[in-house]
Structure 1
Amino acid sequence: MAVSLGADVLSQYRRFSLYNSPYVAHEQGHAIDLYPDAGLGPATDGEPSIAPSPVAGEVLDTRTVRAPPKSHAEADDHLLLVDTGEHVARVLHVEPTVSPGDSIAVGDPLGRLVRAGFFAPWVDNHVHLEFRSPDANSYRASGSLPLAVECPIVGLDWDGTGRVVETGDTYAVLDAPSHPDPGERFVGIAADDGGVLDGGLIHYTGGGALATDGDRERDGAVSLLGRAVGHASGRDVAWESLDVLANGERITGLSLFCGREADFGAKLVCPDTEFACGERVTVELHPSDDPIRLG
């Protein structure tokens, strides 16, 4: 039985993704990454970014764990376990200011967002959330329950073009497709045949096709920009072997997610290719015998 996350929880966050990670719990959307504020660093005035709690319950345990060493990340990550009554919630990437025995409500501050070595360099700071049965081992990486997103999602058509409005060392963000009603609802890039695409296309082996408002998940071929990009089994999608090209140059892939911010747009993962703000970009997908796979 899937654990549901409703609009009351998701409205605290500007963005979410079930599949945009190589971490084992994301392989079938059994975990969700929740992005509470923009950017990679502090929120405002030098204060650390604070993580609002996505769950209510009693804190069972907090642990500090070593993260993979990366130049863009901190040495340690943190695990919080929360008894929600029906399930045990696992929360990662937050340095806790709560302690075992504390009672928390949805929206309460959990602590400081941590930029951990589990992150790829183009990934924004976020809260990682998954759930376990009370009798399951909550410390293992695998064994989480399915998740269901219970809020409307609108798919946005995209023709593969846009103008660069933001750049980093490893990514570029386009101004298209644009959010028609920022702040009011979550949107994502629509597959040609319905549903909203979620995940790292195609640098991770799989992703998701989320049902849009009034639509249902379906099995079968999934396409984008007129090209078959994968095959869906329910919500899960196994990506095809493709190259992602931006202005004719092969890039790592597309970072696909659901967002409700005004600056929503296609995000290009391109650590080896530079794009300038204002540059016009055309994205194409082509079959490949040697696709970029990171996980």
Structure 2
Amino acid sequence: MVTLPGSVVSRYPRFSLYNSPYPAHDTGCAVDLYPETNDAPSPVAGEIIDTRTVSCPPKPYAGEHDHLILVDMGEYVARILHVDPGVEPGDRVEVGDSLGEMVRSGFFGQWVDNHIHLGVREPTQNAYRASGSLPLHLDVAVTGIPWDGTGTVVETGPTHVQLDGPEGSERGFVAIAADEGVPLDGGLPHYTGGGVLAPHEGPVSLLGTRVGAATGRDTTWNDVQVVANRTRATGLSLFASREKFGAKVVFHEGHTFEEGEEIEVVIREGERLVLG
């Protein structure tokens, strides 16, 4: 397992190890880091090995291309996605240096904000392949915040609403807590796997319904449904944040909610909508 220091993680207001349909995130082998602006500050130091441009799945809200940046960290090789490179092979970067501008990628859902994807490989591994990154440990504490399922809509997009609850903390990273108290991460239940951001073994529940089971920090979701004011949602987008925090409810086929509207989310057993 590779450790990303707390001094690095804390440069970003928000992160997620599991909130993605792609295999690299299934066991926390990659992290999505959300900067304050669309500039992409490097989460690693080292020499740029290579940059590549790749085609994206076609999406009406995204560009046609994404990009890969490989960085020689010495002991490891960093694999960074979703950034239009402002660097070239042979350049040296330090933590916090700009790698370029983030791109709106067809590899993530419309409700997902622009972010830096980071995975780490052994130097002997093929860094161009999508799978194979090592498990990541983020050396920060995340506090689980209890939530009763209610909140006021403070932001809307075509396929999501952001609620103002639960209340977070002015210091450190927080995430919505399971009924067992552990902070949750991932797309519940629309991505096949999720995680807990503190060690936990056994059942995981939220809002009184069992939503899965954890082994270590990896979580397998049960078949459950998320409902907001009697409207079926795709799920909850769960993450850790130290600034902009609140429940994000996903509706991949759209919704009619407006800012200022009060919402109550319930979770019930039933066949889920799976997006990956």
TM range (shorter): over 0.9
SS in structure 2 opposite 1:218?
Answer: coil
Q: 1:257 aligns with which of 232, 239, 253?
A: 239
Q: 1:236 aligns with which of 218, 222, 244?
A: 218
Q: Where does residue 245 of structure 1 map in the other structure?
A: 227
Q: Where does residue 180 of structure 2 map in the other structure?
A: 193
Q: Where does residue 128 of structure 1 map in the other structure?
A: 117
Q: Where does residue 210 of structure 1 map in the other structure?
A: 197
Q: Distance in 2 between matches of 1:61 and 1:88?
A: 11
TM-score by length of 1: 0.92
TM-superposed deviation, 1:260: 0.8
Q: Distance in 1 between matches of 2:154 and 2:103?
A: 26
Contact kept? 2:169, 2:242, Cα under 8 Å: no
Q: Distance in 2 between matches of 1:71 and 1:273?
A: 18
Q: Distance in 1 between matches of 2:177 and 2:131?
A: 30
Residue type matched to 2:159 in 1? T
Q: Distance in 1 between matches of 2:2 and 2:256?
A: 41
SS in structure 2 opposite 1:8?
Answer: helix
Q: 1:220 aligns with which of 185, 188, 202?
A: 202
Q: Distance in 1 between matches of 2:157 and 2:130?
A: 30
TM-superposed deviation, 1:273: 2.1
Residue type matched to 2:250 in 1? V
Gaps of 5+ in 1: 38-42, 44-48, 212-216
TM-superposed deviation, 1:64: 0.6
Q: Deviations over 1:145-170 (max 9, x none)?
A: 00001111111010001111111111
Q: Percent identity over the alignment?
A: 57
Structure 1 moving runs of 4+ over 3 Å: none
SS in structure 1 opposite 2:246?
Answer: coil
SS in structure 1 opposite 2:24?
Answer: helix
TM-superposed deviation, 1:180: 2.6
Root mean square deviation, CA, Å: 0.9
Q: Deviations over 1:104-139 (max 9, x none)?
A: 100000001011110100000000000001100101
Question: Does residue 113 of the first structure (1) align with residue 113 of the second (2)?
Answer: no
Question: Does residue 166 of the first structure (1) align with residue 155 of the second (2)?
Answer: yes
Residue type matched to 1:279 in 2? E
Contact kept? 2:64, 2:106, Cα under 8 Å: yes
Q: Deviations over 1:41-91 (max 9, x none)?
A: xx4xxxxx2100000011100001111111100111000000101100000
SS in structure 2 opposite 1:140?
Answer: coil
Residue type matched to 1:229 in 2? V
Q: Distance in 2 between matches of 1:171 and 1:130?
A: 27
Q: Where does residue 214 of structure 1 map in the other structure?
A: none
Q: Distance in 2 between matches of 1:6 and 1:269?
A: 31
Q: Where does residue 283 of structure 1 map in the other structure?
A: 265
TM-score by length of 2: 0.98
Question: Does residue 270 of the first structure (1) align with residue 251 of the second (2)?
Answer: yes
Q: Distance in 1 between matches of 2:226 and 2:160?
A: 14
Gaps of 5+ in 2: none
Contact kept? 2:31, 2:119, Cα under 8 Å: yes
Residue type matched to 1:17 in 2? S
SS in structure 2 opposite 1:180?
Answer: coil
